[in-house]
Amino acid sequence: MNEMIVKTFDWVPDLPRGHVRDLRVRWALEEAGLPYRVEGVPFRERDAGHFAHQPFGQVPWLIDGEVSVFESGAILLYLGERSDALLPNDAQGRNEVIQWVFAALNSMEMASVPWSIFMFSNLTGDTPGWKMLDGFIGARVQHVEAVLAQREWLAGRFSIADILMSDVLRLVDRFGRLSGQPACRAYIARATARPGFIKAHADQIAFYAAADRAGKGG
């Protein structure tokens, strides 16, 4: 079996370390037991070759032989085709996972990303814009809380939907926005206790520590 290649930034500042989205891909590959290696692309100078694979100049993307896939959700669906541990084979099981993949990315992350940008940028004052964003993420989190209070994983057993949802919630939790949501927090704890997450997270931290030592941050 070919070794797949996960492409990510060769260096990032401290703040996003442990949250760069190559972690989702590493985690899925670990859960599936598929062989891979990680390669860095420049964080500062993003060249045409980068944009040819990821049209927004972002990371991650995955190379599998002749195939190149960008968008973490699309990559996880691609990997799901290669492992029943990530995405079940039966039609009903697959559909359940796929709907939660979209829910994680389109119902939750579309609320959490603008909210976290305001958080990172310290724009959380008493303004109508911030109140609206905070209310928006608060409502979404409450709905997920109600779901997670009833089940261990989103779609029966653990799947790529849980990699995505728990990773989205992890960032919200980092800023303390899940303090009133015990089911969400217990879900994150369950997900991040999995050996696949622990290895993926440790490897990402080690990757950027090595980049520091190599002087990549400039």
Contact criterion met (CB below 8 Å) for 138 and 177: yes
| Closest distance to ligand GSH from the beta carbon of 50 (Å) | 10
CB 137, CB 115: distance < 8 Å: yes
User: CB of residue 208 vs ligand GSH: minimum separation in angstroms?
Assistant: 12
For ligand GSH, which is the closer residue by CB, 61 or 153? 61
DSSP H or E segment with residue 164: helix 160-174
Separation CA 208–CA 187 (nearest Å): 27
Residue 157 CA from chain centroid, whole number: 19
Please report, as ranges, the residues that interact with ligand GSH according to CB under 6 A: 20-21, 57-59, 71-72
Token digits of residue 72:
């973490």
Q: Which is nearer to ligand GSH, 73 or 145 (CB)?
A: 73
CA neighbours closer than 13 Å in the CB half-sphere of residue 5: 13
Based on CB atoms, which residue is closest to ligand GSH, 41 or 145?
41
Cβ closest to ligand GSH, residue 145 vs residue 172? 172
Least distance in angstroms from the C-beta of 12 to ligand GSH: 8
Q: Which is nearer to ligand GSH, 117 or 139 (CB)?
A: 117
Helices (H), 20-123: 22-32, 48-53, 72-80, 91-102, 109-120
Q: How far is the CB of 71 from ligand GSH (least distance, A)?
A: 5
Closest separation between CB of residue 6 and ligand GSH, Å?
Answer: 12
The C-alpha atoms of residue 12 and residue 207 are separated, in whole angstroms, by 10
Give the span between the Cα atoms of 46 and 180, in whole angstroms: 40
